[in-house]
Amino acid sequence: MDKRRFLLAGPALLAVAAMGASGAARAAADAKTKLVVADQSELIRHLLDASGERKKVGFQLELPNFAGGPAIFEAIRAGALDMAYVGDTPPIQARAAGVNLPIVATFTRARAEYRLVQHAGAGVERLSDLRGKRVSYVEGSGRQVFLIEALNRAGLTLKDVTLVHLRVAELNDALRARAVDVATLAEPHVTRLSKQIGVRVVPDPLERQLLPSTSYIYARPDVLADPQKAEAIREFLASFVRAGRWSNTHRKDWGQHYFRNFQRLDAESVAAIQAAQAPLEFQTAAEALPHHQKLIDILHSAGSLPQHLDAKGSFLASYDGVIVANR
Q: Where are the domains of the chain?
A: 3-110+213-326, 115-209
> Beta strand 200-201 with 281-283: parallel, antiparallel or unpaired?
unpaired
CA distance 297 to 306: 12
Q: Is the pLDDT of residue 139 over 80?
A: yes
8 Å CB contact between 171 and 41? no
Q: Is the pLDDT of residue 12 over 60?
A: no
Q: Is the pLDDT of residue 40 over 60?
A: yes
283 strand-pairing partners? 106
CA distance 250 to 323: 20
CA atoms within 13 A on the CB side of 256: 5
pLDDT digits (tens, 9 = 90+) for 187-235: 889 999 999 999 999 998 888 888 889 999 999 999 999 999 999 999 9
- Give the model's pLDDT for residue 206: 83
Helix segments in 80-219, DSSP class H: 90-96, 142-153, 171-176, 189-197
Which residues, at least 6 apart from 27, have a Cβ–Cβ distance to it below 8 Å?
A: 227, 228, 231
Q: Say how many Å lie between the first and final Cα of the chain, rounded.
A: 36
pLDDT digits (tens, 9 = 90+) for 245-277: 999 999 999 999 999 999 999 999 999 899 889
Task: Pick the closest to residue 223 from 60, 72, 76 (CA basis).
Answer: 76
35 strand-pairing partners? 61
- Type of residue numbered 186: A
CA distance 270 to 258: 9
CATH architecture of the domain formed by 115-209: 3-Layer(aba) Sandwich (3.40)
- Give the model's pLDDT for residue 18: 57
8 Å CB contact between 204 and 100? no
CATH architecture of the domain formed by 3-110+213-326: 3-Layer(aba) Sandwich (3.40)
- Give the model's pLDDT for residue 5: 52
- Give the model's pLDDT for residue 1: 43
92 vs 15 pLDDT, higher one: 92
CA distance 207 to 150: 7
The pTM score is 0.86
CA distance 66 to 6: 23
Cα-only R_g, the chain: 20
CATH topology identical between 3-110+213-326 and 115-209 = yes
Q: Is the pLDDT of residue 25 over 70?
A: no
Which residues, at least 6 apart from 215, have a Cβ–Cβ distance to it below 8 Å?
A: 85, 86, 87, 88, 106, 107, 108, 142
> What number of helices (H) and strands (E) belong to the chain?
14, 12
Please state whether the peptide bond connecting residue 205 to the residue before it is cis, i.e. omega within 30 degrees of 0: no
- Give the model's pLDDT for residue 24: 46
Across 34-38, 123-127, 141-145, 281-285, least confident range: 141-145
30 vs 21 pLDDT, higher one: 30
Which residues, at least 6 apart from 86, have a Cβ–Cβ distance to it below 8 Å?
A: 38, 40, 69, 72, 73, 142, 215, 216, 217, 218
Q: What is the DSSP string of 240-268?
A: HHHHHHHHHH-HHHHIIIIIIIIS---HH
- Type of residue numbered 111: R
Give the model's confidence band at 141: pLDDT under 50 very low, under 70 low, under 90 confident, else very high: confident
Task: Pick the closest to residue 278 from 217, 205, 208 (CA basis).
Answer: 208
CA distances from 124 to 120, 128, 170, 211, 293 (A): 10, 8, 21, 20, 30
Give the model's confidence band at 43: pLDDT under 50 very low, under 70 low, under 90 confident, else very high: very high
